[in-house]
Structure 1
Amino acid sequence: MSETTLPDLPALLPHRLDMTRVFDAPRPLVWAAWTRPEMRVQWLGPVEWPMVSGTNDLRVGGPWRACLRSVETDEDLWQGGHYREIDEPRRLVFTFRWDESHEDGPPAETLVTVDLHETADGRTRMDFTHEGLKSERSLAGHTHGWTSTMDRLEAWLAIHPDGQHAEETRMKLVTSLSFAGNCREAFEFYARVLGGEITAAMTYGDGPPGMEVPAAMKDWLMHCWLQVGDQALMGSDMHSDWATKINEPRNGFDVTLHTDSVEEARRVFEALSEGGTVAMAFSEMFWTPGFGTLTDQFGIPWMVNVSPAADWKPGAAT
């Protein structure tokens, strides 16, 4: 197979943006975020102009396209280019051009370079350059846009902390729980009981500039992520104006925990039951050496179940 021959770039204009960010995520995951279409669409673009669609032909000479849409006016802006260098998972170089000018005159062909470096503590340092910008005004606009975009990437990585996402997992089901102001308290409780770690806790007060939030909700959690091994729970606080039944008993679902250990299942069941209501006491059932149901002190319904060994039989000593 012959190598792809790339056209020469036109002489780049003089203004250049340099940016370094360190992400609390492994390099394969950051690389995947930059290159996999289903990930790119979740963070690319500044907060006021997020990406809504696009294409990505990841090969040298392959084109990429992204449509950014204004959250205020629904106006669309298209950008795109071609890949010039791909060195997975270290380096990505591509041209960048707006379809139409939105600053000062015809759009210019520019060049973006993304270099990813592993740090000693397992994080990723990204050295980013965008060169060929044609004016101080263009440099200022792209500095704002890319800074906001990297903030969105950092937030996205914080709620996708498992490196499996980058290399293997394409889909993961995660239960999201809603609370009326006590999400933080609930998730700190779950972290203690389940032995997990809260890896993200964003308040409404941490939201983007201009987002109107009642003063009483500034410290409520807009997003929380609890990582327990390779499993996770999400949570957030919801105002009754948005979730009209938030203060009513939950119906139609349970958070279900499965474990191979009767002792561990019993421990978790008793801990979750503290301050809550037991619906079915933890005991042997015909399909398992241990099962019970409860509603915890925060109003969340749970089922705790033991996965039986292959040779287990009802009535056997546990």
Structure 2
Amino acid sequence: MSVNVTPHLNFRGEARAALEFYQSVFGGQLAVVTYADTGNVAAAEEADQVSWGQLASEAGFRVMAYDVPSGTDWQPGVIPFFVSVRGADAEEITRYWKALSQDATVVAALAPAPWAPLYGMLTDRFGVTWVLDVEAAWDAS
């Protein structure tokens, strides 16, 4: 079993531009999934914004990013990132979730999501926001 810890950066309408910039710096494969792709459009003008994005280089550089929806409170510098823990084993991710969720505020319960077999978000007792998920290949075609 193996998991990866990845910085997950939060933007408002600039996630794609940021990921493309980081790709120009570090190289690698870029994956971008929009709110329209996931069928989770809360505001029509945000349909093409990034619901989930990732840059992964052959050298090991990895960063994730998304555009915080307008219906969600967001201020630059306030919760500017998540710690993302991804893995292929649902039992392992669930074990981490159970341990981290003690005295935490659950933002999204660990459950199946349109983009992942399991996905959950919580803010631990120290104020760190974690995203845990079971990775799934994304076919953008």
More strand by share: 2
Q: Which is greater in Rg?
A: 1
Give the TM-score normalised by structure 1.
0.23
**Larger RCO, structures 1/2 (Cα 8 Å, 6+ apart):** 2
Give the TM-score normalised by structure 2.
0.50
